[in-house]
A and B are shown apart, each in its own frame.
Chain A
Amino acid sequence: MDRKLPSAANSSPARRHFKRALIRLGVILAVAGYLFAQPWLERQFGPQLPPQEPAGQQTVLSGDSDLLTEIRPDVFRSPAGLVYTPGSRHGHRLAHVMAHAHDEPERPGPHGVFESKDQTQVVRLVDEAYQLTQQGRGDPTGTDSERQVWTVDMRRDIGFVGGQVGRQRGHPRCHELRIVLEGTRVVTAFPVD
């Protein structure tokens, strides 16, 4: 009696299973290869390749800060709920605050300079000061109907006085942070003595 040869109908599920496994393996290898090669590809070809981030609300690597969340295009919110928006001659309120990370010796008046030039640390400092005002600490100096101005003793060295006045006075150290807010929107923030 002739043995029945295996029919095509009997072998194709196995082959299909094998093909699917191969495809899955190929996809995994392609993704792994992309992640591995991304830095090299960017160096070679220049354009920024899309990072592997979920869609929707993103935590923005805005400069050096990974604390800020982009809640609308170009509008960032800090962990404490402070909002940084476009504005000022620096183009953005965040850039305006970070401009206080550098002295400007010819700027009139007392130009407060942060000790840290790191955006994450500055954002954290401003958040800390804001949270202290919410706890009743801080002096509401200069507040008017439109904006709130707080001076908060941070109880540690946070920077120095620069500008023309700082230069004249030998750059005294600052323990206080002054923040100017419009609700939760940051207008500016800088060290004062």
Chain B
Amino acid sequence: MSQAETIYYFGFCKRCGTGPLAARVCGGCERLWVICDECDATWSDPKCDGEPIALSDPDLPCPVCNASLIRPPSRWADLGDLARVGWRENVMGQGTPFGAERDQIDETE
């Protein structure tokens, strides 16, 4: 059984209005991308200025190396990752990502 994931969010998405914005670590190049946990809108930093970067389904390929930002080994950034790129001070709060609580319930049933 996987550990409960935690996301550290910087705010909420201006496109869909509700999705928490948190950083994903690319499994290919280890760059961090800010992604909306609801509509997958993507930005290159926590300021989320301008329009989101257009990434395609189903894999949301990294704009730099094309690795999937959704599938492992890509993962949500932890506090160490955020500190590494100087984003830790942008964190507003934390919680579980979309689907993580249902995954836990399904695993225990």
Interface residues of A, Cβ cutoff 8 Å to B: 85-91, 93, 96, 99, 102, 104-112, 141-142, 144-147, 149, 151, 163-164, 178, 180, 187-188, 190, 192
Contact = CB atoms under 8 A, between A and B. Distances in A.
B70 A89 contact: yes
Interface SS majority for chain B:
loop
A192 B101 contact: no
A87 B58 contact: yes
B52 A112 contact: no
B17 interface: yes
A74 B106 CA distance: 23
A104 B38 contact: no
B20 A149 contact: no
A146 B51 contact: yes
Contacts, number: 96
A109 B57 contact: no
Contact of A107 (B14, B15, B95): B95
Interface SS majority for chain A:
loop
Interface of B: 7, 9, 12, 14-20, 37-41, 51-52, 54, 57-58, 70, 93-102
B101 to A, nearest CB: 4
Contacts of A90: 98-99
Contact of A89 (B17, B39, B98): B98
A86 B58 contact: yes
Contacts of B20: 107-109
A9 B38 CA distance: 80
12 contacts: A88-B58, A89-B70, A90-B99, A104-B98, A108-B37, A112-B18, A142-B15, A142-B16, A149-B16, A178-B18, A187-B39, A192-B18
Contacts of B95: 106-108, 163-164
A73 B19 CA distance: 29
Contacts of B17: 141-142, 149, 151, 178, 192
